[in-house]
Amino acid sequence: MNHHSFTQHGTRGTADWQRADAAHFLHPFTDPKGLAAKGARIIERAENIYLWDSEGHKILDAMSGLWCVNVGYGQQALVDAATQQLQQLPFYNAFFQTSTPPAIELAELLAEITPPQFQHVFFTGSGSEGNDTVVRMVRRYWDLVGQPERKVIIGRVNGYHGSTMAGASLGGMSGMHAQGGLPIPDITHIEQPHAFENGTGMDREAFGLKAARWLEEKILAIGPGRVAAFIGEPVQGAGGVIVPPASYWPEIQRICDKYGILLVSDEVICGFGRTGHWFGCETLGFKPDLMTFAKGVSSGYVPLGGVMVGGRVAQALIELGGEFNHGFTYSGHPVACAVALANIKLIRELDLVGRVRRTTGPHLAARFAELNDHPLVGETQTCGMMGAVQLVKDKATGESFAGALEVGMLCRAHCFGNGLIMRAVGDRMIVAPPLVMDCAQIDEMMVLIRRCLDLTLVELKQKGLFAS
Ligand code: PXG
């Protein structure tokens, strides 16, 4: 074996990896037959905002892995923190009246950087487990304060809250509900604040208020005394980077306050600087009772998630609660917490949150706005270091392509072919690059994005699918 090789797996080539992958590895959200026919792309190493595949191609990762590598790849401080903790104490649990220094220090630091109502954290291994924790904790809270009939949690159509039974139930993805008998009882949904789809022809801010009031209508239909909580992502991520009108979240807050309902912000994507503040609720202007986090807390270097627990709920759990029969082997995993500590300190050192708010976020916004001159583009949106491009068949009317065409997939194939990773969500092309991406790298990404849009347009015209 060549000891300079980046893998520790000898000299297996792409075809061999693909064969073994297809033979044994069932991938998340993937049609196994389709993947086996094509072969997986094998990613072997990464640095900063770039990946290299097993064919030696360099790829600009405009998705931060999966919305998580906020500090970019190859940060030695995180590697050192993991190595040091692995040597000193690779694991101990937090169940039986024990604790570990990294978990304690991370809890302390999270209390410092989150909004002031948050002084307590419950650790999990992922965002999905965080949202399962939210469901149990919210219902436990209402039991403890003597209103056990408050059980219903309201989420949103096209929201994403993970893949476990509770996470997929809170989310509003119909394809997920169709598999496995979901949603679980007492979870229901309202429409999303997606102006392009649900607010055609309306003033944007007026639409924001209208969309928020769907929550009030739902509460009244269920009966306010039965509603426990509302959960939403500040900006919907997996749903397509759907940035709500500025009027939306403050109105949601007002409605939750009016009926005494707990407000839960799922910060799994928006947290840790993505929107230009530490947390999305700060950018979008609301004050949640609970906050789910994962991904950016450790920049994805190791799995970690959790729930920030606000004063009202924390007080009930602590003062009235006794034992909360909930937790995971890896709640407060010392290596994960050590990496998260190093990650958060690095975000601070590099002032990534301030850079996104003042410099790179506005630059991304300006550069995305320029795409509006492209014949395929119906609208663009950004928030901090997240961006979306809506592809349309008719720019003048905003008419979409027929669903069967999957124009997003056509465009994504051009991205893959041109060294760019961009996500397609239906007809929306989205990016969420590492927060270390600088303005010159944004420009480099924009060259690739425009090239891929041009190539998609050429392909559509050749196939007679784009008239004008
Ligand atoms: N909440 C939100 C808002 C998420 O985006 C989860 C919870 C679940 O986290 P875990 O760690 O359990 O995966 C997520 C995850 C996509 C995509 O295709 C997005 C996620 C996961 C997988 C794919 O955009 N987000």
Comparing 62 with 7, which gets the higher pLDDT?
A: 62
- Alpha carbon of 160 to ligand 1 centroid (Å): 7
Binding site membership of 173 for ligand 1 (Cβ less than 6 Å)? no
**SS3 call for 154:** strand
pLDDT at 395 over 60: yes
| Architecture field, domain 41-71+351-462 | Alpha-Beta Complex (3.90)
Please provide the average confidence, as pLDDT, over all residues in the chain. Answer: 96
* Amino acid, res. 127: G
pLDDT at 4 over 50: no
Residues 6+ apart with CB under 8 A from 207: 193, 195, 198, 199, 245
Report pLDDT for 11: 73
Smallest CA separation from ligand 1 atom 6, residue: 162
Provide long-range contacts, Cβ within 8 A and 24+ apart, for 393-397: 393/465, 393/466, 393/467, 394/467, 394/468, 395/468
- Reported as type and span, the H/E element at residue 183 is none
Report pLDDT for 303: 98
CATH topology of domain 76-349: Aspartate Aminotransferase; domain 2 (3.40.640)
With tokens 């602590």, the residue in question is: 318
**SS3 call for 428:** strand
Query: β-strands 420-421, 187-190: how paired?
Result: unpaired
Tell me, rounded to whole angstroms, the distance of Cα 37 from its chain centroid.
29
Condensed to tens digits (0 to 9), the pLDDT of residues 256-312 reads: 999 999 999 999 999 999 999 999 999 999 999 999 999 999 999 999 999 999 999
- Alpha carbon of 427 to ligand 1 centroid (Å): 19
pLDDT at 3 over 80: no
Among 64, 67, 386, say which to mutate for ligand 1: greatest number of ligand atoms within 8 Å of CB.
67
- Alpha carbon of 113 to ligand 1 centroid (Å): 22
- Alpha carbon of 238 to ligand 1 centroid (Å): 7
Say if CB 318 and CB 360 are below 8 A apart: no
What torsion, rounded to 10 degrees, do the Cα atoms 130, 133, 134, 138 define? -170
Among 63, 66, 160, 281, say which to mutate for ligand 1: greatest number of ligand atoms within 8 Å of CB.
160
Condensed to tens digits (0 to 9), the pLDDT of residues 428-444 reads: 999 999 999 999 999 99
pLDDT at 137 over 70: yes
Q: Convert 263-277 to b/e letters by CB count within 10 Å (16 or more is b).
A: bbbbbbbbbbbbbbb
Binding site membership of 238 for ligand 1 (Cβ less than 6 Å)? yes
pLDDT at 403 over 80: no
What's the pLDDT band for 2 if we cut at 50, 70, 90?
A: very low
Smallest CA separation from ligand 1 atom 24, residue: 238
pLDDT at 8 over 60: no
Query: By percentage, how much of the chain surpasses pLDDT 70?
Result: 98
Condensed to tens digits (0 to 9), the pLDDT of residues 315-352 reads: 999 999 899 999 999 999 999 999 999 999 999 999 99
- Alpha carbon of 2 to ligand 1 centroid (Å): 37
Binding site membership of 216 for ligand 1 (Cβ less than 6 Å)? no
| Peptide bond preceding 334 in cis form (omega within 30 of 0) | no
pLDDT at 468 over 90: no
Report pLDDT for 172: 97
- Alpha carbon of 268 to ligand 1 centroid (Å): 7
Angstrom distances, CA of residue 184 to CA of 61, 119, 143, 240, 295: 36, 30, 19, 25, 25
Binding site membership of 231 for ligand 1 (Cβ less than 6 Å)? no
Which structure tokens are listed for 179? 């598999």
Residues 6+ apart with CB under 8 A from 270: 233, 234, 235, 237, 279, 280, 281, 283
Whose CA is closest to 70, among 270, 274, 265?
Answer: 274
Among 27, 29, 63, 66, say which to mutate for ligand 1: greatest number of ligand atoms within 8 Å of CB.
66
Domains of the chain, residue spans: 41-71+351-462, 76-349
Residues 6+ apart with CB under 8 A from 31: none
Report pLDDT for 1: 36
- Alpha carbon of 161 to ligand 1 centroid (Å): 6
- Reported as type and span, the H/E element at residue 105 is helix 101-113
With tokens 């920030």, the residue in question is: 308
Q: Convert 325-335 to b/e letters by CB count within 10 Å (16 or more is b).
A: eebbebbbbbb
Query: β-strands 423-425, 420-421: how paired?
Result: unpaired
State whether the Cα torsion 159-117-165-124 is positive or negative.
positive
Smallest CA separation from ligand 1 atom 16, residue: 238
What number does the ligand 1 atom closest to the CA of 129 have? 12
Neighbours of 370 (CB within 10 A): 12
What number does the ligand 1 atom closest to the CA of 128 have? 12
- Alpha carbon of 240 to ligand 1 centroid (Å): 12
Binding site membership of 128 for ligand 1 (Cβ less than 6 Å)? yes
Average pLDDT over residues 205-216: 98
Comparing 2 with 216, which gets the higher pLDDT?
A: 216
Among 61, 268, 281, 307, say which to mutate for ligand 1: greatest number of ligand atoms within 8 Å of CB.
268
Report pLDDT for 321: 86
Binding site membership of 274 for ligand 1 (Cβ less than 6 Å)? no
What's the pLDDT band for 10 if we cut at 50, 70, 90?
A: low
* Amino acid, res. 308: M
Report pLDDT for 295: 98
Query: β-strands 50-53, 58-61: how paired?
Result: antiparallel
Average pLDDT over residues 204-215: 98
d(CA 308, CA 180): 29
Smallest CA separation from ligand 1 atom 8, residue: 162
- Alpha carbon of 212 to ligand 1 centroid (Å): 23
Report pLDDT for 106: 98
Average pLDDT over residues 49-72: 98
